[in-house]
Amino acid sequence: MKHVTVNASKTYDVLIGRGLLDEAGERIRSVCGADTAVIVAGDRVWPLYGERLSRSLAAAGFHVEHIIIPHGEEHKTLETYSHILNELCRLHVTRSDVLAALGGGVTGDLTGFAAATYQRGCAFVQIPTTLLAMVDSSVGGKTAVDLPGGKNQAGAFYQPSLVLCDTDTLETLPEEEYRSGCAEVIKYAMLGDADFFASIQRTPVHKQIEDVIERCVSMKREIVREDEFDTGLRRLLNLGHSFGHAIEHCSAYQILHGEAVAIGMAMITRAAVKKGSCEEETLKQLLKLLRAYGLPTDCAFGVQELYESMRSDKKMTGSTMHLVVPEKIGCCRVLPVSAADLPDWLCAGGAV
């Protein structure tokens, strides 16, 4: 088992290993004294892992309740969020109880936001079951729901008390979801670790899964320690996301988050090459790696529609967007770009 400690406004552990679901009760007991543990899980994940988690929590002395939510990004909404809050009320959950988010990033973001706001804040733990959630969304305390006007438009910074990544759960993950997680892994490598990039070129992610998750979480830990509230360094984690979020939005969320991030990384690197701040070889290597993991690299949307989506992105500060631009593998920089210049960047990135 691997172990990373995150030092943000709260200090907590991220545990990575096989079979952690069965230890969840004891592990959660060691960080909180709650009477009731409420599992929040999607309708696909609950039948797979709900019973095992419930058993483990009950064996550690928790009174166990559960709330099942519909799966999919289209349900990361105020409606599902208010359903969770109403259920917590109905179950007489108090702020000294604990919520356990069992599932991917959608469940984690929704449960985290519910935990941040229910009775002004109750404890929550993340039990991510997708690769994307293990390497990214379960760590760092960003919680949110989407609004009709855009992704993650309402949310809070709220850290979990513990993160348990049971890598066995990845065995049931659909292939395309696994690929999507690999895009975030490639993002970390591209951002800050050329050795890591070489390592996932050499050895497939699934053959070194615990090491990969530990490396990504450690990188995120460093960034979150410096900039928990996303005013500077943390922007680096948005590599591929400024364009990626717009692509997700334009596709009405039919393109998976990780796939959109893969296209976004390819686009920003293409644009960087065109603008002379990145070598052609870096682009070649990135495209080769993304394709090796079965990820898309081309954008089917137009400059204008992407631009309009980007204007409503909350990462837009005033009329400036901070783009994360690769210089070489393992090194990116944050570049403030005015809204007026975004169409040019999108065009250079290969938007149609």
Ligand X SMILES: NC(=O)c1ccc[n+]([C@@H]2O[C@H](COP(=O)([O-])OP(=O)(O)OC[C@H]3O[C@@H](n4cnc5c(N)ncnc54)[C@H](O)[C@@H]3O)[C@@H](O)[C@H]2O)c1
Residue of 28, 40, 64, 106 that binds ligand X (CB under 6 A): 106
Q: Does 42 bind ligand X (CB under 6 A)?
A: yes
Which part of the chain contacts ligand X (CB under 6 A), choosing from 30-38, 170-178, 262-270, 298-306?
170-178
Question: What 3-state DSSP class applies to 174?
Answer: coil
Which part of the chain contacts ligand X (CB under 6 A), choosing from 8-16, 89-97, 105-113, 304-312?
105-113
Q: Which residue is nearest to ligand X (CB)?
A: 105
Residue of 56, 111, 129, 282 that binds ligand X (CB under 6 A): 129
Residue of 66, 118, 124, 140 that binds ligand X (CB under 6 A): 140
DSSP 176-236: HHHHHHHHHHHHHHHHH-HHHHHHHHHS-GGGGHHHHHHHHHHHHHHHHHH-TTSSSGGGG
Residue of 180, 242, 269, 285 that binds ligand X (CB under 6 A): 180
Which part of the chain contacts ligand X (CB under 6 A), choosing from 38-46, 157-165, 191-199, 303-311?
38-46
Which part of the chain contacts ligand X (CB under 6 A), choosing from 19-27, 88-96, 137-145, 305-313?
137-145
CA distance 225 to 227: 6
Which part of the chain contacts ligand X (CB under 6 A), choosing from 1-9, 101-109, 227-235, 280-288?
101-109
Largest CA distance in the chain: 60
Residue of 93, 173, 185, 250 that binds ligand X (CB under 6 A): 173
Based on CB atoms, which residue is closest to ligand X, 132 or 182? 132
Task: Reduce the secondary structure of 28-97 to three states and give it as a string.
Answer: HHCCCCCCEEEEEEECCHHHHHHHHHHHHHHHCCCEEEEEEECCCHHHCCHHHHHHHHHHHHHCCCCCCC
Phi, psi of 302 (to 5 degrees): -85, 160
* Single-letter residue type at 279: E
Report whether 109 contacts 144 (CB < 8 A): yes
Residue of 54, 56, 167, 169 that binds ligand X (CB under 6 A): 169
Based on CB atoms, which residue is closest to ligand X, 40 or 273? 40
| Sign of the Cα pseudo-torsion (350, 288, 291, 218, in order) | negative
Q: Does 257 bind ligand X (CB under 6 A)?
A: yes
Binding-residue total with ligand X (CB under 6 A): 30
**Residues facing 147 on adjacent strands:** 150
Q: Does 48 bind ligand X (CB under 6 A)?
A: yes
Q: Does 282 bind ligand X (CB under 6 A)?
A: no
DSSP 281-316: HHHHHHHHHHHHTT------S-HHHHHHHHHT-TTE
Q: Does 159 bind ligand X (CB under 6 A)?
A: no
Q: Does 109 bind ligand X (CB under 6 A)?
A: yes
Q: Does 271 bind ligand X (CB under 6 A)?
A: no
- The site string for ligand X over 230-249 (x = CB under 6 A, - otherwise) reads --------------------
Cα 211 to Cα 3, 17, 127, 157, 219, distances in angstroms: 10, 10, 18, 27, 12
For helices 342-349 and 257-274, angle between their N-to-C axes, nearest 10 degrees? 100
Based on CB atoms, which residue is closest to ligand X, 76 or 249? 76
Residues forming contacts to ligand X in the complex (CB under 6 A) are 42, 44-45, 48, 71-73, 76, 103-107, 109, 129-130, 132-133, 136-137, 140, 142, 151-152, 169, 172-173, 177, 180, 257
